[in-house]
Amino acid sequence: MSRRRLIGGAGAAGAAGLVLGAAGGAAGYAATRPDEPAALTTVGSTEVMFHGKHQPGITTPLQARGHLVAFDLVPGAGRKEAIALMRRWSATAGRLMAGEPAGNGAADGPDHDTGIALDAGPSSLTVTFGFGRTFFERTGLTDRRPPGLDPLPPFSSDHIDAARSNGDLWVQIGADDALVAFHALRAVQKEAAPAARVRWQMNGFNRAPGATARPMTARNLMGQIDGTNNPKPSESDFDRRIFVPDTTDAPYDWLAGGSYAVVRRIRMLLDDWEKLPVERQEQVIGRRKQDGAPLSGGTETTALDLDRAGPDGKLLIPDNAHARISSPGKNSGAAMLRRPFSYHDGISADGAPDAGLLFICWQADPLRGFVPVQRKLDRGDALSPFIRHEASGLFAVPGGAADGEYVGQRLLES
């Protein structure tokens, strides 16, 4: 049975229950519960298509919940097992994104649905698959491994934990409901056996849709508006910057319509950051904290005026401000689509919050996107003392699967 036919009254009635419950407690909530099921809310009913030229989860608007998980093929598993796994994963992702159960629905079957998301609609669920450098060795396809998967260079600010980095396969899961996202995570993990096992997993979040009076750019855990300068799909060169072109020749033509994902777990040293006055935080970033406008003036979307000085003759956007150093104008036009999740994993051994950013950026070529920008940031970014790169991964993400195909078929069955 479709999850969409199992909708309860938690959507429309839940909002009213929160208001009345503040005064009436449990009785107030119970009094507002409808006797008949209500229609899906806007958040729950939003569906993202699985099949298409590009995989979902790249240009999809930021979702409220996310899971990033990497897998390694088990010893002895190779191309045959990878084909079977990608078939299973693609079929499961297609069903879940359409709001259907994960398995065949048989209560005694090995792939029956867990029931975690029975009350919800698709909730903008996306499941995105990528291949790491080592995947090509395990499957005997090193001759088809693209140069864009060459290892990222080391950076002086790195404190990389190898156990939480890279992997043969990578899956990004996003949704606007936490249970829908977790449901997809469990389905992907279950379907991995017997071919692959989890290498690492990271869990993240963003602001929920409808939490602000108007749509706006997300904030990170430092309180800064984050993502203002992202390339826009409406821009004429967007596809060229973000997606591998359709004209790509063999042996890398399987990647046409795909992209590269750089994944970094960036811990924010929030105790140190929060000691700074707001004015100093704004100097570090180069933007106003309240509205994201550049210190050179205007609104959030106003272009940075990197040459503008104040009455004292000093640049309004400091030389080492994060916005200045990372701007495309200072990096020969290098651009990447940043699509992160925040994370909070409790308190670390030193008593500080283990929190920060699950940084995910998309580009047609990481050697022209992420790498040159990160090199510049590594040399003199004012934000560097307040962050720590603790994990890293680079993955080739194939183009989307057509109807009747699975993700990666053009590579694995070539």
Q: Which residues are catalytic?
A: 226
> 191 to each of 91, 199, 356, how far by Cα in Å?
10, 15, 30
Please list, in sequence order, all residues whose beta carbon lies within 8 angstroms of the beta carbon of residue 332, skipping any fewer than 6 positions away: 372
Block residue for tokens 């008593």:
351
- Written as six digits, the tokens of 111 are 């792939």
Please list, in sequence order, all residues whose beta carbon lies within 8 angstroms of the beta carbon of residue 118, skipping any fewer than 6 positions away: 3, 6
Distance CA 339, CA 263 (A): 10
Phi, psi of 56 (to 5 degrees): -70, 165
Long-range CB pairs of 103-109 (<8 Å, 24+ gap) are 103/187, 105/1
- Written as six digits, the tokens of 337 are 């689509």
Distance CA 364, CA 244 (A): 5
Distance CA 151, CA 344 (A): 28
